Amino acid sequence: MEMTLRWYGKDFDTVTLKQIRQIPGVTGVITTLYDTQPGEVWPRERIQAIKAEVEAAGLHIAGIESVNIHDAIKTGVPEREQYIANYIKTLENLGKEGIHLVCYNFMPVFDWTRTELARMRPDGSTVLAYTQEAVDALKPENMFESISGDTNGTVMPGWEPERMAKIKDLFEMYKDIDDDKLFENLKYFLEKIMPVCDKYDINMAIHPDDPAWSVFGLPRIITNKTNILRMMNMVDNPHNGVTFCSGSYGTNLENDLPDMIRSLKGRIHFAHVRNLKFNTPTDFEEAAHLSSDGTFDMYEIMKALYEIGFTGPIRPDHGRMIWDEVAMPGYGLYDRALGACYLQGLWEAIEKADR
Ligand code: DNO
């Protein structure tokens, strides 16, 4: 595995490449062209520029998170052809620049969902949190305004104001889409892009739905072992793979995370490893990465990744806000740096015990 950190680019991130370079063991970043819209072709020159910037800081681009998918593709309307053609062009441009990992999601309307951005924990740190009760009490169009907590002047990934302004139209687009239809549209998309992925050896890594169940009556399919294996089998190409996000699959306590990892051997191209602390099955908050701070056994998660021979990038995820840092909720420097070191410690111990 390679330890990495997500970086949103110098115009959007409070964390600098220099700081990332100083986290022990971190050699790569996971980045994106954050100001592009879903459906746009990523110009090759812009990819070259960000690559040069990252390399000048002594790091490399280990993957892209995300190249977002236009809703026309998810809903399967005729305009999808143009957007798929654009996506292929972006993949080609990334491939030509030697980038071989693309994380994306297929969640309708909302990307990840939280109901609080700064819940206070007993140690005074603040974290992202979710309660189903809060979601059920909301109208989706008020979702953005209703999330409690300050975004610290940042734009939350997946919650860009341009998207939120169109929320009613988006709901309208999905009114006839159920789980099967969404699977069908995903299959159609993957079949079209696999040739370019084969040509440039690009691993597509779908991010699970977070939380791993339907919100606001919208279909959600990347939620559990049955569905993810259905997706792997429906386009049975190793380039059709997975971002294994422990914190997203883990929202559903019925998901056995180490077992899911083992069942996805050869298809996990990227891992987000983080912990959650459950207060009830539908009220959870983000914890520090340590097993002792949350609900998951992080050792077992890392061990399962080790045992399947995982070689891709891992990143810590959704850090707590600590030490008075002001940053995008979940994406500060300090707690993610602690997480990166802890995960590497687990890995070293697992590796040495296997010698
Ligand atoms: C949240 C992230 C997601 C993820 C996308 C992938 O913190 O993990 O926004 O990047 O779902 O497309």
303 close to ligand 1 (CB < 6 Angstrom): no
Who's near 139: CB < 8 A, 6+ residues apart?
A: none
**What pLDDT does 139 receive?**
75
Distance 93 CA to ligand 1 centre (A): 22
The atom number, within ligand 1, closest to the CA of 6 reads 10
Decide whether any atom of ligand 1 lies within 6 Å of the 103 Cβ.
yes
Domain at 190, CATH number = 3.20.20.150
For the segment 33-55, the average pLDDT, to the nearest whole number, is 97
Q: Which residue range is the domain that position 180 belongs to?
A: 2-353
Alpha carbons 150 and 168: distance in angstroms, whole number: 24
pTM score = 0.95
Ligand 1 atom closest to the CA of 66, numbered from 1: 12
Does residue 150 register a pLDDT over 80? no
Measure the CA–CA gap between 1 and 208, rounded to whole angstroms: 20
Calpha distance 337→18 (Å, rounded): 13
Verify whether ligand 1 is closer than 6 Å to residue 207 (CB atom). yes
Ligand 1 within 6 A of 157 CB? yes
Atom of ligand 1 at shortest range from CA of 318:
7
Query: Under a CB-based contact definition with an 8 Å cutoff, are residues 54 and 31 in contact?
Result: yes
Distance, CA of 219 to CA of 28 (rounded, Å): 34
Q: How many domains does the chain have?
A: 1
Owner of token pair 């951005």 = 117
pLDDT in tens, 293-325: 999 999 999 999 999 999 999 999 999 999 999
From start to end of 276-335, where are the E strands? 276-280, 283-286, 313-316
pLDDT in tens, 185-226: 999 999 999 999 999 999 999 999 999 999 989 999 999 999
The rounded percent of the chain whose pLDDT value lies above 90 is 87
Active site residues per annotation: 207, 245, 272, 317-318, 331
Q: What is the pLDDT of residues 50-101, one digit of tens each?
A: 999 999 999 999 999 999 999 999 999 999 999 999 999 999 999 999 999 9
Residue 209 beta carbon below 6 angstroms from any ligand 1 atom: no
DSSP string, 137-173: TS-GGGHHHHSBS--TT-PPTT--HHHHHTHHHHHHH
pLDDT at 159 over 90: no
**Helix residue ranges per DSSP H, the chain:** 17-21, 44-56, 71-75, 80-96, 132-136, 143-146, 161-165, 167-173, 179-200, 225-234, 246-249, 257-263, 298-307, 334-353
